[in-house]
Amino acid sequence: MKWRDLILFLILPALIILSSCQRKLAVSPANRFLNAYDVEQNANDPQRLIPLSYQQAQGKRVFNNNCVWCHADATPAGPSNRSNLTPTPPLFTDGETFNLLSDDFMRNTITLGGSAMGKSAIMPPWGQTLTQDEIRAVLAYARAVAQPPYKASARPASQYPEK
């Protein structure tokens, strides 16, 4: 009788405590394509997809509206203007060219145009047409699709806002 009471008094609270512990729901492994905002084909291998973040996807939209005409070989309207131009503008996926250029240089070229940065005047200035956020987004998109892939330099970017 004594032992039965004892067991009753110990087990009941234990059960109550145990029942309050939850079974952790299994969190499904994050699929980086299902969770990507958008995807883009790899320029060298269309079967492989590159997941794009929100910012990169915004950049893709701006690119396809303004830049695609001269920096790609196929455009929404069909033929590209790229082959018409001398010097020939680099393709937007051309990592060998763009990976060597810093973010600041790329952003300034887009904002101020080629002639301001010692490049060809064919590249017009977009600073008054696109916002700085849009220009950053385009750059993020170009970095995402670059072949060979772009690797940010080992030194981290400044934490402080640009002056």
Partner 1 sequence: MTAEKMGEISTRLRAIFALASVAFVAVLAVSPVKDFFQSWKRYEKDYVSYAQTRPDTKRLLADFHPGIDQIWLPEMRVLDRCTTCHQGISQASLRDASVPQPFRAHPAIPHDVKKWGCVICHRGQGPATETSEAHETTLAWEQPLLPIRFIQASCGMCHRADLPQTPKLNRGRELLSQLNCGGCHHLQDIERSAMLGPDLSNVGNKLMRQWIYKWLKEPHTVVDSSGNTVVDGYEMEEEPRMPQFRLTDQEIKALSAYLTTLKGQPIEPFKFDQSVVASLQKSADLADQGEVRFRQMFCTTCHSLAVTQGDETKLIGGDIGPELTKVGSKVNPDWLVAWLRDPQSYLSHALMPRYRWSDQDLYKVTQYINTRLTDPDLLSNVPPLEEPTQEEIRLGQRLFLEKGCASCHVIQGVSPQKDFGPDLAILGSKNVSQLEFGNSNIPRNLISYIQAKITDPLSVNPAARMPQYRLTPTDLDAITTALLSMTGSPANSSLARLVVPRPESAFRPAGAFGELYDRYKCAVCHRFNGDGGNLAPDLSFEGSRAQLQWIAGFLKNPETLRPTLIFRMPQFNITDQEASVIADYLGMVTQSPSVKLSAVDQKQFTPQMAEMGKQLYEVKYQCNACHTIGSAGGYVGPNLSNAGNWLNAAWIEEWLRDPQALVPGTIEPRRSLTDQEVQALTAYVLTLKQKAPPLTTSSAGTKAGGAQ
Chain residues in the site for partner 1 (CB under 8 A): 2, 5-6, 9-10, 12-13, 16-17, 20, 22, 24-25, 27, 34-38, 53-55, 58, 61, 65-66, 69-70, 75, 77-81, 84-85, 115, 120-122, 124-126, 128-129, 133, 156-157, 159-161
Q: Which amino acid is at 26?
A: A
Burial (CB count within 10 angstroms: exposed 0-12, middle 13-18, buried 19+), residue 135: buried
Only one residue has tokens 């887009």, namely: 110
- Report the nearest approach of partner 1 to the CB of residue 45 (Å): 19
Question: Which residues make beta-bridge pairs with 39?
Answer: 51
Element (H, E) at 49: strand 49-52
- Report the nearest approach of partner 1 to the CB of residue 55 (Å): 5
| Nearer residue to partner 1 within complex by CB, 10 or 48 | 10
